[in-house]
Amino acid sequence: PLHILVCNAAVCTQPWNLTEDGLETTFQICHLGHFYLVELLQDVLRHSAPARVVVVSSESHRFTDLVDSCGKVELNLLSPPQKEYWSMLAYNRAKLCNILFSNELHRRMSPHGVTCNALHPGNMMYTSIHRSWWLMTL
């Protein structure tokens, strides 16, 4: 049985790069990896109910341009061309995708005894992730 699955993989401030699938690396690591893992484990989670999926997102999801003024998600922004790439924005976009995914997963899986939550782990200024944040260098 699998009663708890925590999706916590992330990278921040990576240089622009495409994976062999042709997708931007930050998006693939921070979001698609979680999505794919959960997709592979959905049946196991259902059979293990009660079960829980926890998706570690970030408060930075609020600072993105992924959703337009009409509430439509601009999917083309998830793997932008190199000239339009900003690493922090790529991270923020992926973290918003985490939350949207968590909400939809909960809607689909809760009738089967699987709950899903997204969380912000808090500000981690005393871990090595902070060295990539430009404001900390001021």
Q: Under a CB-based contact definition with an 8 Å cutoff, are residues 107 and 46 in contact?
A: no
The three-state secondary structure class of 55 is strand
Structure-token match 């240089």, residue found: 15
Domains and CATH numbers, the chain: 4-137 (3.40.50.720)
Residue 117 β-bridge partners = 54
For 33-92, write each residue's pLDDT tens digit. Answer: 999 999 999 999 999 999 999 999 887 777 787 777 777 778 888 888 899 898 888 998
> pTM of the entire structure?
0.83
Catalytic residues: 91
* Confidence check: pLDDT of 125 > 70: no
| pLDDT, tens only, 77-110 | 888 889 989 888 899 889 989 999 999 999 999 9
One-character DSSP codes across 11-30:
--SPPP-B-TTSSBHHHIII
pLDDT confidence bin for 124, thresholds 50/70/90: low
pLDDT in tens, 1-29: 999 999 998 888 789 999 998 999 999 99
Residue in the block written with tokens 């998706």 = 55
If you search the block for the tokens 């900390």, which residue do you land on? 136
Q: What is the rounded distance in angstroms from the CA atom of residue 10 to the CA atom of residue 29?
A: 6
